[in-house]
């Protein structure tokens, strides 16, 4: 565990919320993520399965949570299965959790070794009316490799074909969208660390610095605060900023250009997601400043507009209309373009072609109902941008917002974003 311990009451509350949604006679099984191979005998670092972490706080490979709220034996109603520690595992992979340690993290009283899972599942299948199994149903996911959850589903269906099988993912999507105060605190911590990294970058941005040097400064600052990169960072100078998913980060930052930095620290698996755009030589040109301020106005208007009850689609559409006006004033589109604007073919799409934001939490694109509506407790990004490849100019600004009962709170309000403040910091550093 790299981060500070989290109170097990957080995970108990998440399990209680899930149990409240389960039909009578349910059996739930949630797996850890696979350890993925690289080349030869190499493997990637384990990325904890978000649903298992949400329900237990466990980050160890091959762990399994089993919930059977109506099981006849009270001890079988909530069980956690983990790998049994051994001397060989300790030598080659490091210490594995003891039963007491797993209980201390998760709050699950009944912890058993993974070797006990087949017999325990067999006993519970006999008294369960329906089985809820998990799958990656994220709308942006492209699942080409069969994960552990899917392998288990296939095995259970083959062995117990007459049971009723249902999807757990829709329930987890509803639960994970609304963040508890403890989760919001973890996101605030991730944002604070990201802010520290960006302030460190402000001290070293200048003509000639390499994009990867900026990335290295961010990574160093995150590591010092017990965090990791939440996703592959974008450090894109000049025309590179017009490539939305640019991650090469191998060019030099040149005088007269802007550098767009899209980065987020991941702390305790909760990821921040911020974007800032800085002038490499410390001052915006008049054109850069006009584009920058246009993006910032759309961000401010979208922040003010966010509230419970509106849908992501409505929120995005309002931002597109705002952006149409900004692009018109910048001379990038015409009145004829605006007159032809429709929700399916917005006038701004040539220069602002991506979404306005997404749910944030356990991972940079967290689960939430696809079209809302927004509810208090949602945490979402707001990230308008203008990209002008012909001018080698791209500006994106991004903050993280907490939806409240009467609007929203900007969790990134303390991170410098006004153009004058950015210029002042760059010249003072």
Which of 31, 257, 387, 410 is an active site residue? Answer: 387
Q: Do 400 and 381 touch, CB atoms closer than 8 A?
A: yes
160 carries an active-site annotation: no
> Distance (Å, rounded) from C-alpha 403 to C-alpha 179?
10
Which of 354, 375, 391, 423 is an active site residue? Answer: 354
Which of 3, 14, 188, 396 is an active site residue? Answer: 396
> Distance (Å, rounded) from C-alpha 68 to C-alpha 79?
9
Q: Do 202 and 425 touch, CB atoms closer than 8 A?
A: yes
- Long-range contacts of the stretch 135-144 (C-beta < 8 A, 24+): 135/167, 135/168, 135/169, 136/169, 137/167, 137/169, 137/170, 137/173, 138/365, 138/367, 139/370, 140/365
Which of 365, 366, 400, 410 is an active site residue? Answer: 365
262 carries an active-site annotation: yes
Which of 183, 273, 322, 366 is an active site residue? Answer: 273
398 carries an active-site annotation: yes
273 carries an active-site annotation: yes
Residue 309 backbone zone (phi > 0: left; psi -120 to 50: alpha; other: beta): left
Q: Which helix (H) or strand (E) holds 11?
A: helix 8-19
Give CA torsion, residues 331, 399, 50, 168, to 10 deg: -70
Closest CA to 299 of 272, 279, 326: 326
Which of 166, 199, 358, 423 is an active site residue? Answer: 358
Closest CA to 243 of 383, 392, 400: 392
122 carries an active-site annotation: no
278 carries an active-site annotation: no
**Token pair for 313:** 């689609």
Which of 61, 192, 326, 383 is an active site residue? Answer: 383
423 carries an active-site annotation: no
Which of 245, 336, 344, 428 is an active site residue? Answer: 245
Sort strands 78-82 and 110-113 into parallel, antiparallel or unpaired. parallel
383 carries an active-site annotation: yes
354 carries an active-site annotation: yes
3-state class (DSSP) for residue 177: helix
Which of 16, 41, 87, 144 is an active site residue? Answer: 41
Which of 34, 59, 217, 262 is an active site residue? Answer: 262
Residue 131 CB contacts under 8 Å (≥ 6 apart), including other chains:
26, 27, 28, 29, 125, 156, 160, 163, 164, 165, 166
> Distance (Å, rounded) from C-alpha 426 to C-alpha 38?
41
Q: Which residues are catalytic?
A: 41, 245, 262, 273, 354, 358, 365, 383, 387, 396, 398
């Amino acid at each position: 565990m790299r981060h500070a311990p989290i109170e097990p009451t957080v995970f108990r509350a998440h399990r209680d919320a899930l149990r409240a949604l389960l039909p009578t006679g349910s059996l739930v099984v949630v797996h850890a993520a696979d350890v993925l191979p690289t080349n030869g005998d190499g493997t990637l670092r384990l990325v904890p399965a978000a649903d298992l972490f949400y329900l237990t706080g466990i980050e160890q490979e091959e762990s399994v949570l089993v919930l059977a709220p109506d099981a006849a034996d009270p001890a079988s109603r909530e069980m956690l299965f983990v790998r049994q520690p051994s001397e060989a595992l300790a030598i080659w992979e490091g210490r594995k959790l003891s039963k007491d340690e797993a209980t201390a993290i998760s709050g699950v009283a009944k912890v058993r070794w993974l070797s006990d899972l087949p017999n325990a599942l067999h006993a519970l299948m006999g008294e369960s009316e329906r089985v809820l199994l998990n799958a990656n149903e994220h709308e942006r996911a492209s699942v080409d490799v069969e994960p552990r959850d899917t392998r288990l589903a296939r095995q259970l269906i083959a062995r117990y074909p007459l049971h009723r099988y249902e999807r757990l993912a829709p329930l987890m999507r509803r639960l994970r969208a609304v963040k508890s105060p403890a989760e919001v605190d973890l996101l605030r911590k991730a944002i604070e660390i990201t802010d520290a990294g960006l302030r460190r970058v402000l001290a070293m941005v200048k003509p000639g610095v390499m994009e990867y040097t900026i990335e290295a400064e961010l990574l160093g600052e995150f590591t010092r605060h017990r965090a990791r990169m939440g996703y592959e960072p974008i450090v894109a100078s000049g025309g590179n900023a017009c490539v939305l998913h640019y991650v090469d980060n191998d060019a030099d930052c040149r005088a007269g250009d802007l550098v767009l930095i899209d980065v987020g620290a991941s702390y305790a698996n909760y990821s921040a997601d911020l974007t800032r755009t800085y002038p490499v030589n410390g001052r915006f040109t008049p054109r850069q400043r006009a584009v920058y301020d246009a993006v910032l106005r759309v961000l401010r208007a979208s922040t003010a507009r966010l509230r419970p009850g509106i849908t992501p689609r409505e929120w995005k559409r309002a931002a597109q209309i705002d952006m149409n006006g900004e692009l018109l004033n910048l001379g990038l589109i015409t009145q004829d373009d605006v007159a032809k604007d429709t929700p399916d073919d917005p006038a701004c799409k040539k220069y602002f072609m991506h979404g306005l934001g997404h749910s944030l939490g356990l991972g940079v694109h967290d689960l939430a109902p696809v079209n809302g509506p927004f509810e208090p407790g949602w945490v979402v990004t707001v990230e308008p941008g203008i990209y002008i490849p012909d001018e080698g100019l791209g500006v994106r600004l991004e903050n993280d917002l907490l939806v409240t009962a009467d609007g929203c709170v900007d969790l990134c309000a303390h991170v410098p974003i006004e153009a004058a403040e950015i210029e002042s910091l760059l010249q003072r550093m």
